[in-house]
Structures are given as structure tokens and as C-alpha cells.
Amino acid sequence: MMDELIAGFTSHLKEALEVGKKANFSKTDNSFMNVLVCGLGGSGIGGTIISQLVSEQCALPITVNKNYKIPSFVNQDTLVICCSYSGNTEETLEMYQQAYDKGAEIAVITSGGKFAEIAKENDHNFIQIQGGFPPRAAFGVSFPQLFFVLNQYGLISDDFIGNIESAINLMDDEEEAIQTEAMGVAKKLHKTFPIIYTEAPMEGVAVRFRQQVAENAKMLSSHHVIPEMNHNELVGWKTKNEDLSVLLFRSKDEYYRNTARIEKSKEVALQCTSNVNEVFAKGEGRIQQALYLIHLGDWITYDLAKLKEIDSVEVDVIEGLKEMLSGLA
């Protein structure tokens, strides 16, 4: 099942574009000072990624909140985007109520549940997306809607549409090569503790991959970013340990000084493990490259589960936690 969902990524993106293009938001007279994206897990990672992808275009600061409580700066001049794929994420519902009480402008992205009811009852701008997927496999249908919300409020242009369309064409053309590369990388990460590094503007992609390693492959991993990693974690590479593996997410658009840092970091890591690997994003610009790496990363985590002969869909421990929490007052 998970392989079918990953294979359908570009179809999900196409559907998302059609849904987003039909969104018709009510106008507001608010002059926003900031943006807060509320969401967790598969619904929250989109906020992390988009905050980086639009940082050079959106003039407002975008904060991503993955907690029960919202920051104190939220007020009537804040655009709050609540993302909950199921529509019933308890932390996001609590954040919503706080934002509503503070008079913030609220937009909702959901497939249904309580959030769909709330959005309709309180006349919020909202985009309803297709339901029925595991939340982590719904990234393709949900993530593009963040672009549409920001565009509807006049915070970014609609250039992202062409970039997503180009990414779709690229991934469709490269699908066989992507799957071949993914299995090759998975074989190198199998039976190791993966450490993921990338340039800071792509940290959200690394976080997405780490989440997928946990949920799909039932493995722990870690991540850090260049250049910050060079100011602390680099010193930790002191002891020979072949149980560690390194995976670098690279891009031809890396800042040249970060490229030099990455090459030096590889040298240091290779003194401790021979298992140092890198994958290069394809595409023009950060949006295309991010989507390419996300798709490649999803296949890697599926292949890791396959190599371990485990069910990539199963998340019983999370369901058990939710059941326990539902019994709390």
C-alpha cells in the first residue's frame, strides 16, 4: 500500500493544484504583521518546509508551531493557518481556539473532521483536501495548499504553480531512476543509524526524511544542518563506528562556502565511518529540488522497511498514544 501511495505522489500534486486553483477566499482588511502555521506530524512538516521555500519572497516572518500553546505575539494582525489532515488533531484544535480568542485571521487546510465543521460554522477561509490517506502519505495533496493560502492573502505570487508543475514532469520522467537510486541508498543505510545533513535552507526536507525513517522504516536517525553543524556536531566525529551512516542531501544551488564546508565535513566523518553517502536534488530552484528530494526520500524509507521485512504503514504505537489521550479529561 505505501509503495502505491509514494508512486502516486505526482498525481497527488496534480490534484492539489486543481483543488487550490478553485479556492476562493473572502478578502480581509487586515494588514498582517506575521504568519503562524499550526500543525503536527505529517500536517505540520509542510509549514516547516514552506517557511524556508518562500523566505526570499514573503516579506512577513512565518513561524511554525507544533505544540498546544501559541506564541504570545499572535493577535488580530496575525494570519494563522491551521493544518490538520484528519481535522481532529487535538494540539492543533487547541491552538486554533487560542488564535480565535485572540481575534487572529484564520485559514484552515483539512480533509474533514472537526476542523471542517469549525471552518464552516465560523466562516473561515478553508481548503478541503482529499481524505483517506495515512497523514504522512498525504503530503502531496496537502502541502501545495499552503502556497495557495499565502497567495490568496497576497503574501506570495503564483509562480509556485509553474514550479510544482515542472517538478511533477521532472519526477515522472525520472521515476525509474529515482526508485533505483532509492534502493541503492537504502541498502547502505540498512542496519545502521543514519545521520542526515543538508544545507540550512533545506532543513525541512531533512526533517521530513527523518520523520519518514521513523514512521515507515521504524528506525531512529538524527539530522543537522550546514553551517550550524560545523560549530558543534562536527567535533563529535571522533570515534570509529561503522554502525553509523551519513546521508547528505545536496543541491547545485548550495552557497559556495557551504559547499566547501560540506566537503570538509565529509572528510571528518569518513575518519569514523566509511558509510558516507550523498544524493543530489534535480530541478531548477528550491521548490522543484525540495519536492524531488522528498519523493526520493520517501522511496528510501519504504525500501528500508522492505529490507527489514516490516510493514511500512503500521503506526500502532501512535494510535495507542492517541487512544490513551482520548481518555483524559
Percent of the chain with pLDDT strictly greater than 90:
90
pLDDT digits (tens, 9 = 90+) for 79-89: 999 999 999 99
Q: Which of 14, 215, 282, 295 is catalytic?
A: 215
Q: Which of 120, 191, 264, 322 is catalytic?
A: 322
Question: Which band of pLDDT confidence, cut at 50, 70 and 90, is reported for residue 166?
Answer: very high
Question: Which band of pLDDT confidence, cut at 50, 70 and 90, is reported for residue 92?
Answer: very high
Whole-structure pTM value: 0.95
Q: What pLDDT sits at residue 251? A: 96
Domain boundary assignment for the chain: 2-157, 175-308
What are 224's three cell numbers?
543537522
Q: Which CATH number fits domain 2-157: 3.30.70.3450, 3.40.50.300, 3.40.50.10490, 3.40.50.2300?
A: 3.40.50.10490
Task: Work out whether strand 34-38 and strand 62-65 pair parallel, antiparallel, or are unpaired.
Answer: parallel
Q: Chain-wide mean pLDDT for the chain?
A: 95
pLDDT at 39 over 70: yes
pLDDT digits (tens, 9 = 90+) for 206-263: 999 999 999 999 999 999 999 999 999 999 999 999 999 999 999 999 999 999 999 9
- Determine the CATH number of domain 175-308: 3.40.50.10490
What is the C-alpha separation between 76 and 138, in angstroms, rounded?
31
Residue 215 a catalytic site member: yes
Residue 322 a catalytic site member: yes
Question: Which band of pLDDT confidence, cut at 50, 70 and 90, is reported for residue 317?
Answer: confident
Of 22-26, 141-145, 156-160, 311-315, minimum mean pLDDT range: 311-315
Q: What pLDDT sits at residue 217? A: 97
The arithmetic mean of pLDDT across residues 105-120, rounded, is 97
Look at phi and psi of residue 41 and say left if phi exceeds 0, alpha if psi is from -120 to 50, else beta.
Answer: left
What's the alpha-carbon Rg for the chain, to the nearest Å?
20
E strands of 68-209, at which residues? 78-84, 105-110, 125-128, 193-199
Please report, as a single letter, which amino acid is at residue 137: A
The arithmetic mean of pLDDT across residues 281-300, rounded, is 98
pLDDT at 200 over 90: yes
Higher pLDDT, 329 or 315: 315
The arithmetic mean of pLDDT across residues 37-63, rounded, is 95
pLDDT at 318 over 80: no
CB 62 within 8 A of CB 37: yes
Q: What pLDDT sits at residue 34? A: 98
What is the C-alpha separation between 234 and 264, in angstroms, rounded?
10
Q: Which of 22, 231, 238, 240 is catalytic?
A: 231
- For 13, 25, 187, 208, the CA distances from 177, given in Å and listed in that order, are 20, 40, 16, 21
- Number of other residues whose CB lies within 10 A of the CB of residue 176: 8
Of 278, 281, 255, nearest to 266 (Cα)? 278
- For 53, 175, 196, 288, the CA distances from 292, given in Å and listed in that order, are 14, 10, 16, 6
Q: What pLDDT sits at residue 138? A: 94
Asked if the domains at 2-157 and 175-308 fall in one CATH topology, the answer is yes
Question: Which band of pLDDT confidence, cut at 50, 70 and 90, is reported for residue 329?
Answer: low
